[in-house]
Amino acid sequence: MNYRIVKIPSDKEQKSSHSVLIIYTGGTMGMAYDQSGTLVPFNFGGIINEMPALRSMGLEITVVSFPEPIDSSNITIDHWNNLAAIIEKYYDAFNGFVVLHGTDTLAYSASALSFMLEGLKKPVIFTGSQLPIGAVRSDASQNLIAALQIASTGKDQPPVKEVCVYFDYFLYRGNRCKKVESVHFDAFKSENYPPLAEAGINIEYNHTALHTDWVADKFRVHKLRPVHLALIKLFPGMDQAQLEHVLQAPGLEGVVLETFGSGNAPTTDGFIQSIESAIDRGIIFFNVSQCSGGRVIQGRYKTSRYLKQAGVISGLDITPEAAITKMQFLFSKYHNTAQISTYLGTQIRGEMSH
Ligand code: ASP
């Protein structure tokens, strides 16, 4: 990819010792209305013009822009590999990174990057907005400015050393939050893990929640490959033949099973047999609840005990977004089914609690 790189000139005479790289992928923040009144991605120049404050923050800000900014519904594994490669290339040159991203798939991208960037010691803050930056009541500048402040805090000892999402006054762990709102400004929530910071007059960090004991010593970037996965959300009256059709798809490697409540699924013979025979064929199942709060407890009810017996791995309190991307990461990194299964059921980047 041919990126455009622009340095934002600072109003301040003194050179700042804090530097942030903004990676602009697209999304509503930088969109504008076309002639038919539809929002379409726009280049980053529009954002700089709408936000003179960027020049007076006392930061060295450089922007890398995707050649074709995208609506995040079009995000792919290639984009994630490119994002990770940009962070790897400029890792030593900047104190922190801000990724401007559409909100629709932002939780997937933040989760994916959290797995791909092993041993991260710097802040990588994803943000976006519900309204374009040019709109009168836009949330764009508040989100972007706070994300930049967080990404530049601490220099050599930053309080944040992980992939996060900043949105509407809260900082969340990237692989713990999900988009929950498409109209109001509070678009993201993290039901099973506390916010890492809250922005008021000051930015108050939740140091206990920021604890990152999973961090490996060496910073290493992992690439993803396309992995053949299925996300199967159960519903009452689900057609057995349809389920079997998905599970028989040639090349299927893994399934995120979105179950009821604390990880429950029907106990009809056909359903159980479909899961068991898919597991016999080497397909790995990851059990994630349809509830956004709480956790999977396989064996609590009879309707989940057989899943555990069949070898379905419990996703505990993981989000579906983190579950899918964790599978993409583990299948890309390991070839051995036993190894993939072990890591799937173990917390590796703070994405689930045991
Ligand atoms: N459709 C937009 C996107 O995800 C929505 C947004 O940015 O809020 O790119």
Rounded (10°) angle between helices 240-247 and 269-280: 0
Report the pLDDT value the prediction gives residue 10, as an integer from 0 to 100. Answer: 80
Report the pLDDT value the prediction gives residue 320, as an integer from 0 to 100. Answer: 98
Query: Which residues have CB under 8 Å from 263's CB, separation 6+?
Result: 287, 289, 295, 296, 297, 298, 300, 304, 307, 314, 315
Q: Compute the distance from residue 91 Cα to the ligand 1 centre, in Å.
A: 27
The reply to whether 4-221 and 229-344 are identical in fold is yes
Q: For 197-214, give the DSSP string.
A: EEESSSEEE-TTTT--TT
Segments making up each domain of the chain, as ranges: 4-221, 229-344
Catalytic residue among 28, 103, 105, 259: 28
Topology, domain 229-344: Rossmann fold (3.40.50)
Report the pLDDT value the prediction gives residue 41, as an integer from 0 to 100. Answer: 77
Q: Compute the distance from residue 103 Cα to the ligand 1 centre, in Å.
A: 5
Best probe residue, ligand 1, of 71, 75, 143 (max atoms within 8 Å of C-beta): 71
Ligand 1 neighbourhood includes 30 CB (under 6 angstroms): no
Closest-CA residue, ligand 1 atom 8, reads 103
Ligand 1 neighbourhood includes 27 CB (under 6 angstroms): yes
Report the pLDDT value the prediction gives residue 184, as an integer from 0 to 100. Answer: 95
Closest-CA residue, ligand 1 atom 7, reads 102
Give average pLDDT by consecutive 10-residue segment, the chain, 354 residues. Answer: 80 80 92 84 75 88 91 97 97 97 98 97 97 91 96 90 98 97 95 97 96 84 98 95 96 98 94 95 97 93 92 97 98 96 97 96
Ligand 1 neighbourhood includes 181 CB (under 6 angstroms): no
- The domain over range 4-221 is classified in CATH as 3.40.50.1170: yes
Report the pLDDT value the prediction gives residue 217, as an integer from 0 to 100. Answer: 84
Report the pLDDT value the prediction gives residue 156, as an integer from 0 to 100. Answer: 79
Report the pLDDT value the prediction gives residue 39, as an integer from 0 to 100. Answer: 85
Best probe residue, ligand 1, of 68, 100, 103 (max atoms within 8 Å of C-beta): 103
Q: In ligand 1, which atom is closest to the CA atom of 129?
A: 8
- The whole-angstrom distance between residue 268's C-alpha and the CA centroid of its chain comes to 35
Answer left, alpha or beta for residue 284, where phi above 0 means left and psi between -120 and 50 means alpha: beta
- 28 included as an active-site residue: yes
Report the pLDDT value the prediction gives residue 183, as an integer from 0 to 100. Answer: 94
Q: How many CA atoms lie within 13 A of 15 on its CB side?
A: 1
Q: Compute the distance from residue 73 Cα to the ligand 1 centre, in Å.
A: 7
Q: Compute the distance from residue 30 Cα to the ligand 1 centre, in Å.
A: 10
